[in-house]
């Protein structure tokens, strides 16, 4: 029975580790589908994490805290949108600026919140399902944000490929001149997609500081925003594969943590390198097929758009 409990704990931990990656990557996927590359995911996640945590400490209301996390990250996304879409700044440089600013701002805001304990998010209890043996604890005893990540992936997949709105978003990302000629407000649509990406990054950050490790630590995202960016490439811009990739990376993180816990005779520093090295390996494996990347990447990604008339 001990072994079985261990497996359950491992799967639960894996799902929890995958959740922030999935949330952030699905948001960034929508942003990129509209033709905008926002490299500021890490910064937005951090601001989301600190905004959510500060709100949780001050109000004790988890719903309000989650909302604050989303709004905080969206404020940063708004700045990104104004700069890249309104003032035509370089998207790569602006995304980097967003991350640098987000790291600084979150550390600044979070200074007074270091070491304060909060109650993490409560798990949802689904009558009947949560009490099932094995399946119950693995699938039906999580906090709401875990389900939100799965639901968001399904909704984004359905929205992008089965609705008119999704078609317009993809059109704007594939050929902004044609979309503009058809009368679609390219800048406006991109702005909304950037804000959506921000909201999802904020949700991911809120998950980290409210549920995953309920506390605030400077740069607590530890590169998850960048891994989320890599996941979008790994998934070749397909929502379902984003979720798959997130669980894969969640698995790598957890196996590594458990190996440390089990007293494997390898330094914890070396083991902690695994998720980052795995990201590089996966990126290489996917990117080496240039045709596949070219076929799947939004054609206008990273290119500024200014209507000539």
Partner 1 sequence: MWPRLEARPERSRLMIYLTPLIAAGLTGVAGVILFAALGHDPLRALHAFFIAPLSTGFGWSELIVKATPLVLCALGLAVGFRGNVWNIGAEGQLILGAICAGGLALWAGDAKLPWLLPTMVLAGMIGGMAWAAIPALLRVHFNANEILVSLMLTYVAELLLGYLVHGPWRDPAGFNFPESALFGPSAQLPALVEGTRLHVGALFALAGVGGIWLLLMRAFIGFQVKVIGLAPRAGGYAGFSQARVIWLGLLCGGGMAGLAGMVEVAGPIGQLHPQISPGYGFTAIIVAFLGRLHPLGILLAGLFMALTYLGGDTLQIELGLPRAVTGVFQGMILFFLLAADVLIHHRFRFGRRPVQPRGGDRHGRA
State the residues that interact with partner 1 by CB under 8 A: 39, 79, 82-83, 87-90, 92-94, 96-98, 100-105, 107-108, 111, 218, 222-223, 226, 229-230, 233, 267, 269-270, 272-273, 276-277, 279-280, 283-284, 287-288, 290, 293, 303-304, 306, 308-309
Nearer to partner 1, 11 or 36 (CB): 36
CA distances from 212 to 20, 121, 147, 164, 308 (A): 9, 9, 14, 36, 47
Nearer to partner 1, 134 or 270 (CB): 270
Nearer to partner 1, 71 or 103 (CB): 103
Min separation Cβ 150 and partner 1, Å: 25
Min separation Cβ 217 and partner 1, Å: 13
Nearer to partner 1, 244 or 283 (CB): 283
Distance CA 180, CA 51 (A): 37
Distance CA 219, CA 224 (A): 10
Min separation Cβ 290 and partner 1, Å: 5
119 contacts: CB under 8 Å, gap ≥ 6: 214
Min separation Cβ 90 and partner 1, Å: 7
Min separation Cβ 111 and partner 1, Å: 4
Are 203 and 179 spatial neighbours (Cβ–Cβ below 8 Å)? no
Q: What is the DSSP string of 172-213?
A: HHH-HHHHHHTT--HHHHHHHHHHHHHHHHHHHHHHIIIIIS
Are 94 and 40 spatial neighbours (Cβ–Cβ below 8 Å)? yes
Are 96 and 41 spatial neighbours (Cβ–Cβ below 8 Å)? no
Task: Match 């600026």 to its residue by tokens.
Answer: 97
Nearer to partner 1, 139 or 283 (CB): 283
């Amino acid at each position: 029975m001990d072994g079985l409990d261990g497996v359950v704990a491992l799967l639960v931990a894996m799902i929890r580790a995958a959740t922030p990656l999935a949330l952030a990557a699905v948001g960034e996927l929508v942003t990129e589908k509209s033709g905008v590359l926002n490299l500021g995911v890490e910064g937005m996640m951090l601001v989301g994490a600190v905004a959510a945590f500060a709100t949780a400490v001050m109000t004790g209301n988890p719903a309000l805290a989650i909302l604050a996390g989303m709004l905080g990250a969206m404020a940063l996304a708004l700045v990104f949108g104004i700069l890249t879409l309104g003032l035509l700044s370089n998207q790569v440089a602006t995304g980097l600026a967003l991350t640098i600013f987000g790291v600084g701002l979150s550390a600044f805001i979070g200074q007074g919140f270091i070491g304060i304990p909060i109650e993490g998010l409560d798990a949802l209890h689904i009558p009947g399902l949560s009490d099932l043996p094995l399946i119950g604890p693995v699938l039906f005893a999580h906090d709401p944000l875990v389900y939100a990540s799965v639901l968001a992936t399904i909704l984004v997949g359905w929205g992008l490929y089965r609705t008119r709105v999704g078609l317009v978003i993809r059109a704007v990302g594939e050929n902004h001149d044609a979309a503009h000629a058809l009368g679609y407000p390219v800048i406006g649509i991109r702005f909304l997609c950037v804000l959506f990406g921000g909201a999802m990054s904020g949700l991911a950050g809120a998950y980290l500081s409210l549920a995953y490790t309920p506390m605030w630590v400077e740069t607590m995202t530890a590169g998850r925003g960048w891994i989320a960016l890599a996941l979008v490439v790994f998934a070749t811009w397909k929502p379902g594969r984003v979720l798959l990739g997130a669980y894969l990376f969640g698995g790598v993180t957890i196996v590594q943590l458990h190996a440390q816990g089990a007293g494997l005779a390898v330094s914890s520093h070396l083991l902690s390198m695994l998720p980052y090295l795995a990201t590089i390996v996966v990126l290489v494996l996917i990117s080496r097929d240039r045709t596949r990347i070219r076929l799947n990447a939004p054609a206008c990604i990273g290119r500024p758009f200014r209507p000539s008339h």
